[in-house]
A and B are shown apart, each in its own frame.
Chain A
Amino acid sequence: MDFFARQDQSRKRSFYLTFLFVLAVIFVAVAVYAAVQLAFYLSMDKSGIYRNGFTWFDFKMFLLVTCITLGIITLGSLFKMLQLRKGGSYVAENLGGRRVMRLSADKDEKRLLNVVEEMAIASGVPVPQVYIMAEETGINAFAAGYTPGDAAIAVTRGCLSSLNREQLQGVIAHEFSHILNGDMRLNIRLIGFLYGIMVIAIVGRGLLRGSGRSRNKKGGGQTILLALALMVIGYVGQIFGRIIQSAVSRQREFLADASAVQYTRNPGGIAGALKIIGGFNNGSRIVSPNAHEASHLFFSMAIRSLFATHPPLDERIRRLDPGYSGHISETGAGSKTVSGDRFDASVSMMSADAAETRQTIGHITPRHVDYSARLLATLPERIRDELDDPLGATAIVCGLLLDRDPKERERQLKVMNKLAPGEVVRQLLILEKEIIRLKPVFYLPVLELAIPTLRRLSPAQIAGMKRYIQALVEADGKLTLFEFVLEKIVSHQLGMIYNHAGRQKMIKQIDPLLPQMVKLLSMLAKSGNKSVEEAKKAFTAGFEQLRAAGVTEKESMLEYVSFMEVDIALDRLVLAAPNLKRIIFNACCGCVLHDKKVSIPEAELLRATASVMDIPVPPFLFHPIKS
């Protein structure tokens, strides 16, 4: 099953979940109705409302109560979901997480950052924000977020201190599986629903407090009764919620375990982590009071509950263990074996196969993890540290745009001096030499590592940065493909958080997107092929993919397109439905890989396209890895 199919399936599962939830809500509504009727029944003699007779089943009354109950639950759920859409960092902070920063990180925290970054670069998802729950001594971790772009991964202190690198890698791979399999959105729904049901109990508690204050008034008795009933119903509703939660969650955990093994080719890592949890005093307990509603997010059972959110440890280990013995020797813990390898800029082409590339979308392969680990380990230490500092990251992103020609660079720096804050210019001057020396293979990974740090800037600083980045790009009067790609990725990845308003309708037909596709394919074809003949061939190869997918247009021609046009085209293509994204991306792959070769510019444009459309594409392995 490929990435797009899994996304589709995740949507279907969400639908199933909603169905279960509706059932629970109906049940709760009936219970609330019974409570209300009981309250009225008991107060009947005094108030005399029901002089015309009291019936246990009053349809109008039932409808009314149900509507109100539904309203309360729906409002509560929507409310919570809207909150959670603020991204993974919101959840992480809510559960007592503290952001890990490289500059202040200790040895364990640095290892964690390295493992997460390697995995992110290897899978092609944006690097998640990393949190540590310093107060928690149990071994646990979770991933949260609304889209991969705003995901956060959090681990407990116990997780860092008790697990070795391979086990930690297993745990992180498990969390990445949740990100890649579309579980995060499902999780947000679950938390939202649980909260919605809990609101009933909260309303009950509020009523109880309110009626406590006005005790001397008439009719206090049945209000208290109603309040108590609502509380009980709320808590009973919670039980239903938990049943749903555990039903949905447990299967996802098995899948995530299996994926973790697939990603790291090392069942020992994750099985080892599970075994340590089993033998550990604190196990995987989470003490934070907010852990209840988020318990299904965690790597392992976070709270004791009648309804398990996770399968039993024994069973999880047993499913992983059979593959254990044979594969240990193959484990690639990555970064140990690095320093000798150089990423050679002269090897700017590598061979790749379109089918293979498509298969790796949304997957992490051990080869890619290995590649990323080596790549990151060869990145100069200074740059890597600076990338985790807001000022350093800002300066580096600007630095990537600096021209190799000193004269041009001078002009660019003058522009920077006018537009950027003094700190940024000073930092840029400090780092200038190091950045200029970076090989082109590093450009995209460096940019990807900078993005999560840049999210720490204030909205005003981000807006300012976009301004001087644009000025830098325009300073030399010509636009290169990389400049275009950088601007596009920065504005897409950093625009998302502060710009929720721009939600547009999904496009479900491929035909209306054809003009945009022609533009994108033309740009791709020309970026990878010097001669017009070759470009035409590449374009046709891409277009064939579109036709195979049912585009009615018979033929189309390679166009001369500007970056501006491609920019607009991409903004439109973003709106495509998931199954269309597959077609679009297939066509792009077909075009790039028609000659079975990938050049760096092609790879950059392809990854920018993927980044904008939120498709996790692993990096092309530009240098064959020697084992």
Chain B
Amino acid sequence: MITLIVIGGIILVLVVIVVGVYNGLVTARNRFKNAYSQIDVQLKRRYDLIPNLVETAKGYMKHERETLEAVVTARNSAVSANQQASGNPGDPAAMKALAGAEAALTGTLGRLFALAESYPDLKANENMIQLQEELTSTENRVAFSRQAFNDAVTDFNTRCEKFPANLIAGSFGFHPAELLESTESPEERKPVKVSF
């Protein structure tokens, strides 16, 4: 009788521990998924701005069709990569694809802006100035939200690896999530130069 109770007690404690760990993992997973939605908002904003940008630039940059098309293509593939990623944030393949697509987009945009330097009329265009400003600030926001997302993912991964969660994480379908790598070049990450 006594042994039965002791065994029952031990099982109960184990159940409570397992449920606790499980719930902890669920919370941590929800946290990074929510953090992703913040990135998602900004990325979508960025994708919405790009067609306007191309439209504005088209009128001035008649000889740069290739670059403009490259921007549009890069934008479209980034849109679909983001769709994949927002459906399943943290999924390694989706996150890598998104990071790649974003890097490509940033690259082509960079080229576009570099070319735009040689078109003074375009540079002076009100619309262009505003769009460029918006894009920069959106990228800023993406960078900041990405930090929050990566922190949340790291927290989740650490929890998965810790004892006793590591014993049950796999069997309940918790797999380590992937960070969203930065798409910025190293120069961009340097502190801002403040000039007055």
Contact = CB atoms under 8 A, between A and B. Distances in A.
Interface of A: 49, 64, 68, 71-72, 75, 79, 83, 86, 90, 93, 98-99, 101, 103-104, 206, 389-392, 394, 406, 410, 413-414, 417-418, 421-427, 429-430, 456-461
B110 to A, nearest CB: 17
B8 A391 contact: no
Q: Which 6 A-B pairs have the closest CB atoms?
A: A458-B151, A391-B144, A423-B140, A458-B148, A423-B144, A104-B41
Contacts of A459: 151, 155
Interface residues of B, number: 38
A418 B191 contact: yes
Q: Which residue, B136, B140, B143, B189, has most C-beta atoms of chain A within 10 A?
A: B140
Question: Is chain B's binding surface mostly helix, strand, loop or mixed?
Answer: helix
Contact of B30 (A68, A93, A394, A461): A93
Contacts of A460: 147, 151
B123 interface: no
Nearest to B139: A423
A393 to B, nearest CB: 10
Given A83-B23, A410-B196, A425-B194, A390 B148 contact: yes
A355 to B, nearest CB: 44
Contacts of B80: none
Given A75-B16, A390-B148, A425 B191 contact: yes
Nearest to A464: B147
Contacts of A49: 1
Given A430-B137, A459-B151, A423 B143 contact: yes
Interface stretch (B31-39, B66-74, B112-120): B31-39
Contacts of A75: 12, 16
A103 B45 contact: yes
B192 A426 contact: yes
Contact of B189 (A98, A391, A394, A422): A422
A31 B77 CA distance: 63
Contact of A458 (B23, B35, B45): B35
B190 A422 contact: yes
A460 B152 CA distance: 10
A1 to B, nearest CB: 37
29 contacts: A49-B1, A68-B5, A72-B12, A86-B27, A90-B27, A93-B34, A98-B37, A99-B37, A101-B41, A104-B41, A390-B141, A391-B145, A417-B194, A421-B144, A421-B147, A422-B143, A423-B140, A423-B141, A423-B144, A424-B144, A426-B136, A426-B137, A427-B141, A429-B192, A430-B133, A456-B148, A458-B148, A458-B151, A461-B151
B196 A389 contact: no
Contacts of A90: 27
Given A75-B12, A417-B194, 11 more contacts: A72-B12, A103-B41, A206-B15, A390-B148, A418-B191, A422-B143, A427-B140, A456-B34, A458-B148, A458-B152, A458-B155
B26 to A, nearest CB: 10
B10 interface: no
B168 interface: no
Please classify the interface of chain A as helix (H, G, I), strand (E, B), loop, or mixed, using the class held by over half of its residues: helix
**Max count, chain A CB within 10 A of own CB: residue among B37, B155, B190, B191:** B191
Contact of A425 (B35, B41, B192): B192
Contacts of B164: none
B19 A413 contact: no
Contact of A99 (B34, B136, B151): B34
A418 B27 CA distance: 34
A423 B5 CA distance: 59
Nearest to A102: B41
B5 A417 contact: no
Contacts of A101: 38, 41
Interface in B131-173: 133, 136-137, 140-141, 143-145, 147-148, 151-152, 155
Contacts of B148: 390, 456-458, 461
Contact of A417 (B37, B155, B192): B192
A463 B44 CA distance: 29
B20 interface: yes
Nearest to B146: A423
A49 B191 CA distance: 78
Q: Which of A390, A391, A414 has the most CB of B within 10 A?
A: A391
A461 B8 contact: no
Candidate in B8, B23, B192 with the most chain A CB atoms within 10 angstroms: B192
